[in-house]
Amino acid sequence: ETGVTQTPRHLVMGMTNKKSLKCEQHLGHNAMYWYKQSAKKPLELMFVYSLEERVENNSVPSRFSPECPNSSHLFLHLHTLQPEDSALYLCASSPGQGRSPLHFGNGTRLTVT
Amino acid sequence: QQQVKQSPQSLIVQKGGISIINCAYENTAFDYFPWYQQFPGKGPALLIAIRPDVSEKKEGRFTISFNKSAKQFSLHIMDSQPGDSATYFCAASIRGSARQLTFGSGTQLTVLP
């Protein structure tokens, strides 16, 4: 399998649940990203991992917790989310240390009830 | 300073027509301007990109026009086809850094058959 793979494709969770999103890249890239995509808004960068070093966007609430065990895998752990967190969560990777272009997965559509 | 403003929000074009999407930026340090194309249910994919040392870049039916003095750039889709119907995002970054990509809010293009 090639490219960037995200699972699950769809997720419905209650506000008290704990769930995780998974991303795997098969491109040999050294940087991975989590983006949040909401309707009619710019893509919002949440986290960057470059060679296992995490760079955070300080506006991301602590109920989102990333994990990058190696350069091919990235997780986003979710707990006590709010309805406004419902969105499409996109994983991406890039060659080198944060160099363009970005290669995106197809996203996880998250609904918080 | 980091914003990229994109217009229009939505665009409807007849088959064979020209689609034009515009973006404007403030940060003069931006030196890499990509466009991403996103189909429903898919992640964004790099379509075409330009650096400010050229005023135009063409790839097939897709052309980026760049006006450095006006701090504007645009995507032109010639001979638009129904298969071009998608959401288009402009973006900008410094030194081509994926980590520092700033996205526009997207344009939903519909090409009528």
Asked if pLDDT for residue A101 goes beyond 60, the answer is: yes
Q: Which residues pair with B3 in a beta bridge?
A: none
Q: Which of B41, B44, B97 sits opposite A100 (nearest CB)?
A: B97
pLDDT at position B66, please? 95
Contact B99 A40 (CB under 8 A): no
Rounded distance between C-alpha atoms, residue A93 and residue B33, angstroms:
18
- Phi and psi of B25, rounded to 5°? -135, 165
| Distances from the Cα of A101 to the Cα of A86, A92, B22, B35, angstroms | 27, 10, 21, 10
Do A107 and B43 count as a contact with CB atoms less than 8 A apart?
yes
How long is chain A?
A: 113
Confidence of residue A21 (pLDDT cuts 50, 70, 90): very high
Residue A4 touches chain B, beta carbons under 8 Å: yes
Chain B residues with CB-CB distance to A106 below 8 A: 41-43
Q: Strand, helix or coil at B43?
A: coil
Tell me: cis bond preceding B8? Omega within 30 of 0 counts. Answer: yes
* pLDDT value of position A3: 94
Whether residue B100 has pLDDT greater than 70: yes
Which pLDDT score, from 0 to 100, does residue A55 have?
A: 76
Q: Measured between alpha carbons, how far is B113 from B2 in angstroms, rounded to an integer?
A: 38
Q: Is the dihedral of CA A94, A100, A106, A108 positive or negative?
A: positive
Average of per-residue pLDDT across A49-68: 83
Contact between residue A2 and residue A27 where contact means Cβ atoms under 8 Å apart: yes
What residue of B is the nearest CA neighbor of A48? B99
- Is the pLDDT score of A52 beyond 90? no
User: Which pLDDT score, from 0 to 100, does residue B99 have?
Assistant: 72
- Can you give the pLDDT at residue A44? 92
List of chain A residues whose C-beta atoms are within 8 Å of the C-beta of residue B97: 98-100
* Amino acid in position B82: P
- Categorize the per-residue pLDDT at A98 as very low, low, confident or very high, splitting at 50, 70 and 90: low
Of residues B108, B107, B102, the one with CA closest to residue B34: B102
Q: Does A77 touch chain B (CB under 8 A)?
A: no
Q: What is the dihedral of CA A7, A10, A14, A19, to 10 degrees?
A: 0
Among all chains, which residue has been given the structure tokens 């119907």?
B85
pLDDT band at B95 (very low <50, low <70, confident <90, very high): confident
Q: Rounded to a whole number, what is the distance in Å from the CA of B96 to chain A's nearest CA?
A: 6
Q: Inter-chain contact B46–A42, Cβ cutoff 8 Å?
A: no
Contact in structure between A31 and A49 (CB atoms under 8 Å):
yes
Decide if A42 and B106 are in contact by the 8 Å CB cutoff: yes
Is the pLDDT reported for residue B1 higher than 70?
A: no
Which residue in chain B has the smallest CA separation from A92? B43
Considering chain A, what percentage of its residues have pLDDT values greater than 90? 68
Asked if B66 and B55 count as a contact pair (C-beta separation under 8 A), the reply is yes
B33 pLDDT tier (thresholds 50, 70, 90): very high
Q: What is the mean pLDDT of residues A66-87?
A: 93
Our CA-based measurement puts residue B2 at a distance from the nearest CA of chain A, in whole angstroms, of 12
